Amino acid sequence: MRLPLIAPGSPPDSFPDPARALGEPNGLLAAGGDLLPERLVAAYRAGIFPWFDDGDPILWWSPDPRALITPDSLDVSASLARTMRRGRYRLSCDLAFEAVVEGCAGPRPGSKGTWIVPAMRAAYALLHREGLAHSVECWDDEGLAGGIYGVAVGGVFCGESMFSRRTDASKVALVALLRMLVRRGGRALDCQLMNPHLVSLGATAVPRAEFLGLLHAERDRPLDGDWSIEPADLRP
């Protein structure tokens, strides 16, 4: 199957139907285009996200199934609950977006590089300045301990990446983000692809069609309040 190509300068929503995505590699849908805010917004509203290595063309994905965490599926382990109960970390929202992205782009055990290339960092920084991308930061006495960032699409938050420099820091940030989202009227945290870390937090594999149905129902939902962490979001 020939991969559809998106021409730079084409209409922002020039994406194929996600149902046409490849089964192997799972979810690969199209190549090309650009990372301008209008195209990124159109992609996320359609259940599509960019993911590519440095030196490669921009690749667009919509995997099947999709990793999703909802209030009902969230699993706070006993050890994570202890960390939250002890108040080891302080949480903030949108205080250090670019530092969180930089932390997510840093080296990881068993990984030779990062897909969060400079062009991606610049694109999401611009989305953040336009109020469309957000971060939750986790702090301790040594500084930024971990965090998570992604793109808000109405009642669904599309998580892009998270990182930890200390034990459980990214998990605490994710729990606080989901609870903040739900408190404000949102429904779910999109985690894109399953991995053991997400499974440990309660991520479930949802068929792409089901995920897209949820996204289409929620993508225009206005959230209540502002992007800020409250004490209730940090309950064990």
- CATH number for 194: 3.40.630.70
* Residue 131 one-letter amino acid: G
Measured CA to CA in angstroms, residue 114 lies from 51, 52, 215 at distances of 10, 9, 28
Measured CA to CA in angstroms, residue 47 lies from 165, 198, 200 at distances of 30, 19, 24
Residues 183 and 209 in one domain: yes
Sequence length of the chain is 236
Helix (H, G, I), strand (E, B) or coil at 191: strand
- CATH number for 15: 3.30.70.3550
pLDDT in tens, 88-100: 999 999 999 999 9
Tokens of 226: 């502002």
pLDDT in tens, 165-219: 999 999 999 999 999 999 999 999 999 999 998 999 999 999 999 999 999 999 9
Residues 10 and 127 in one domain: no
Tokens of 165: 């420099």
Domain count, the chain: 2
pTM here is: 0.95
Residues paired with 188 in a beta bridge: 156
Residues 139 and 46 in one domain: no
Q: Which 8-state DSSP code applies to residue 84?
A: H
Q: Does residue 126 contact residue 193 with C-beta atoms inside 8 Å?
A: no
